[in-house]
Amino acid sequence: MIKTLMKQIGEFKRDSLLTPVFMVLEVVMETIIPLLMASIIDDGVEKGDIRHIYMMGAVMVVMAVIGLIAGVGGGTFGARASAGFARNLRQAMYDNIQTFSFASIDKFSTASLITRLTTDVTNVQMAYQMILRMCVRAPVSMVCAMVMAFFLSPELASVYLIAVVVLAVVLAVIMRRATIYFQQAFPKYDDMNASVQENISGIRVVKAYVREKFETSRFMTASRNIFNIFVKAERQLVITFPLMFATVYACILTLSWLGAKLIVQSGQTALTTGELTSLLSYCMSILMSLMMLAMVFVMITMSIASARRIAEVLNEKSELKDPDDPIYEVPDGSIRFDHVSFRYNQSSEKPVLHDIDLDIRAGETVGIVGGTGSGKTSLVNLISRLYDVSEGAIYVGGHDVRSYDMEALRNQVSVVLQKNVLFSGSVLENLRWGDENATREECVRACQLSCADEFISKMPDGYDSHVERGGANLSGGQRQRLCIARALLKKPRVLILDDSTSAVDTATDARIRTALSTQLADTTRIIIAQRISSVQAADRIIVMDDGTISGIGTHEELLEHNEIYRSVYESQTQGGGDFDEHGGDD
């Protein structure tokens, strides 16, 4: 985990190295000042040497200025190093998320990724700054002060040693107990973020069903869970600072009593007044260093869980890899499934797809129908290698899909997914996701084929009209037609429409199918649909049932030989039937 995170320090190594250097310099200056103070008292005040007082005072001012400059430098470099480290962590996580396969994406929820990119990175950033500054300053300050204390009076310095050991043991116990609660807190952040995300993205549904109070209660529950965990953790830590101050004052009282007694009994031969003053300063320095270490440990304790979660994202690698010598050209749109089986989770007993054997000719129009959960979407996701097969092989253009460069393959196998996703920007900007270099004329042509041009031309600014995030200002059918046009701009060898005309009226659906069949004669078209009318004119229709192919043929052949297809067709022609009575979830 630490090695993974440290790789992201990158160009901020210099700042990370300079920070502790300046911190050490600051500590050295602070350690020298009490000695100078002792000299002023013993050799200046008590002897009445005003010249010595002025000289030592001037040296103290110089030491203080150097310490101030070192402190400012340490703070500046530490801030740059920690902020830069956080920036690199976020960038590395975001870049790695872009490489995730669908299988990798399935491991992390959206809310969890957002929490890791924000709250978790902030925690690590704060901890890193404290490590560079406090974790260096506090131990060095404590060691230097302890050495100087033993140099002045080994007998009195033993008081520090006892206090340090006792505090270290108590703090270790407290931190260990607090860590347990902090580790439980961050998954609760995921739950809270998930609640917020679902509420905002589904706000229209929430208001339509008057569920505001329910959603508010749900958020309050998630927020209260975080509150309760942090209260439990803080209860463990609440004794830290009272204990620290009690120890500080106990040490001061003990030193004052023992030191005064030693001065009086020895006549200032074993210990002088100035040395006792220095010992009291070193007492504060030692115990304040312990207090700083306690704060650091609290922050580190909180950040350990965050660091692990960040490392999980950084270490997640897609199982889909380009071959050493990939193929960059897809010869044609022919597709062959060679005894393909597929599991989303390799430990699953039952495969989602089982022994699929299928040949699709280039330029052919193939319809796929079946109940929800029959494996339709899983089947087409394998063609563009969004997942890899568990058994068997898939060939596109005569080559195994695993032998292609993935970018080249996906550019030639264009998929319009079930969920239509548009982005904030103009209509043209959304269309050019299909081809960033597409001309306006090419975009218009694609929209004409998908029947999107008829509603775009009526928008206030036409193709320059603004599309809200997710296409919120468009209807479901309009979003679907824009997504089809976007896919057509790729000029693919294979076009897959995954139930992508479900929100389009029947007449427009028919016009889209006619346009695709006449204008894209060389493109292999795979149409997944619930309505048989959407695939009725296909060259062949595949009926899926529980992860297997129940039947293949033309509309007429399936009506004659396939019971599932015939019963659904009869239900739909009589009104309202579909395939869902035969399956679960895709």
Query: By 3-state DSSP, what share of the chain in percent is helix, strand and coil, each rounded to 5?
Result: 65, 10, 25
The three-class DSSP label of residue 339 is: strand
Distance, in Å, from the CA atom of 131 to the CA atom of 19, rounded to the nearest integer, reads 10
pLDDT digits (tens, 9 = 90+) for 410-450: 889 988 876 778 888 899 999 998 888 889 999 999 999 88
308/353 same-domain check: no
**Is the alpha carbon torsion for 266, 272, 277, 283 positive or negative?**
negative
Q: What's the pLDDT at 336? A: 95
Name the burial class of residue 52, with classes exposed (0-12), middle (13-18) and buried (19+) by CB atoms within 10 angstroms of its CB: middle
Report yes or no on 437 lying in a domain: no
Q: Are 434 and 489 in contact (CB under 8 A)?
A: yes
Report yes or no on 451 lying in a domain: no
Q: What's the pLDDT at 578? A: 56
363/267 same-domain check: no
300/354 same-domain check: no
DSSP-assigned states of every residue in 206-218: HHHTT-HHHHHHH
270/415 same-domain check: no
Q: Are 273 and 46 in contact (CB under 8 A)?
A: yes
Q: What's the pLDDT at 15? A: 92
Q: What is the DSSP code (8-state) at residue 341?
A: E
Report yes or no on 345 lying in a domain: yes
Q: Within 10 Å of residue 176's Cβ, how many Cβ atoms?
A: 11
289/379 same-domain check: no
Angle at 39 between CA 137 and CA 155, to 5 degrees: 65
Q: Within 10 Å of residue 448's Cβ, how many Cβ atoms?
A: 16
263/372 same-domain check: no
366/303 same-domain check: no
CATH number at residue 13: 1.20.1560.10
- In sequence order, which residues have a C-beta less than 8 Å from that of residue 279 and are 6 or more positions away? 149, 152, 153, 156, 157, 255, 259
Report yes or no on 351 lying in a domain: yes
311/341 same-domain check: no
CATH number at residue 576: 3.40.50.300
Q: What's the pLDDT at 585? A: 39
Distance, in Å, from the CA atom of 501 to the CA atom of 561, rounded to the nearest integer, reads 27
16/99 same-domain check: yes
Report yes or no on 457 lying in a domain: no
Q: Which domain holds residue 552?
A: 335-427+490-582
273/395 same-domain check: no
Q: Number of folded domains in the chain? A: 2
Q: What's the pLDDT at 230? A: 82
137/253 same-domain check: yes
**Is the alpha carbon torsion for 35, 41, 44, 47 positive or negative?**
negative
386/497 same-domain check: yes
Report yes or no on 461 lying in a domain: no
Domain boundary among the residues 315, 348, 380 is at 315
Q: Rounded to two decimals, what is the model's pTM?
A: 0.69
Domain boundary among the residues 315, 343, 365 is at 315
Report yes or no on 516 lying in a domain: yes
- In sequence order, which residues have a C-beta less than 8 Å from that of residue 500 and are 6 or more positions away? 416, 417, 418, 420, 480, 483, 484
Low-confidence stretches of the chain (pLDDT beneath 50): 582-586
Report yes or no on 475 lying in a domain: no
Distance, in Å, from the CA atom of 376 to the CA atom of 382, rounded to the nearest integer, reads 11
